[in-house]
Copies of this chain bind each other. A is one copy, B any other.
Amino acid sequence: MSTGGHVLLALDLTGTFAFALNGALTALRMARLDIVGVVTLGMITALGGGIIRDVLLDSLPPATFGDWRYLAVAAVGGLIAFTFGRRLELLNTPINILDAAGLSLFAVTGANKALQLGLGPAQAVILGAITGVGGGTLRDVLVRQVPSVLSSGLYAIPALIGATATVAVTELHVYGLATAVGAAALCFAVRMVGVHFDIDAPMPRSAGDPDDG
């Protein structure tokens, strides 16, 4: 495996673990979900973005099914959250940090895999962003929340920034562990700024209208 391949795999597995913890902690906040529901939601959050990426890239069966480590890391993340998550579940901070970590790492790995499979730069940016937001969007749809990608301005934007940085360093032939982590850190920082200051992108002027009635 090339160096790029190793970097891709390591970041992909780290993102998988972060999203598995995040998805399972989200499930813990819902009443009536048992261990299977908690672990399942963790795994869907963790593996969903990569599966959507691989379906769109026609890289099938998805890496998830060809490499047992994805399934193992996602299941272990879900079980850890189920076991130790009791005290964390009322805290927003770890959920937000893990979500931002998964978003950042998958935006980078999604863009990088798209470039490796021959897509153009603009397409790779979009595909990286979809990889980043895909798992969390599935999570939100399944637990009946409006997806973060729609309701939070600084969610899609950091994913696009991280994917763009990845494409840029790849085009400059300096893609490696350091620059990939740098691109993910950039996305992570923008996302956490958005969470901390509750920044939204410009709202439509009619947004004072409180509901969609």
The interface of chain A, by Cβ under 8 A from chain B, is 27-38, 40-41, 51, 55-58, 60-62, 65-66, 68, 71, 82, 85-86, 89, 119-120, 122-123, 126-127, 137, 141-144, 146-147, 149-153, 155-157, 200-207, 209-212
The 9 A-B residue pairs whose C-beta atoms are closest, nearest first, are A58-B60, A37-B150, A34-B201, A34-B153, A65-B123, A34-B200, A29-B212, A36-B201, A35-B201
The complex is assembled from copies of this chain, and their number is 3
A31 engages B123 (CB within 8 Å): no
Partner of A123, one of B66, B82, B120, B203: B66
In the complex, are the beta carbons of B85 and A204 less than 8 A apart?
yes
Complex Cα distance, B212 from A89, in Å, reads 10
- Return the chain B residue nearest A38 by Cβ: B204
- Give the chain B neighbours of A89 by CB distance below 8 A: 204, 206
Residues of B contacting A150 in the complex (Cβ-Cβ under 8 angstroms): 27, 33, 37, 40-41, 142-143
**Residue in B57, B126, B151 whose beta carbon sits within 8 Å of that of A37 in the complex:** B151
With A31-B212, A119-B61 already in contact, the answer to whether A36 and B206 are too (CB < 8 A) is no
A204–B86 Cα distance when bound, in Å, is 7
**Complex Cα spacing A40 to B30, Å:** 27
CB distance from A128 to the nearest CB of B (A): 12
In the complex, 9 of the A-B residue pairs with CB atoms within 8 angstroms, ordered by the A residue number, are A30-B146, A31-B211, A31-B212, A34-B201, A55-B60, A61-B119, A65-B123, A82-B204, A89-B204
- Residues of chain B lying within 8 A (CB to CB) of residue A141: 141-142
- The CA of A213 and the CA of B29, in the complex, are separated in Å by 8
8 Å CB contact of A31 from B202, B205, B209: B209
- Do A56 and B60 form a contact, CB below 8 Å, given A37-B153, A157-B36? yes
- Chain B residue at minimal CB-CB distance from A137: B142
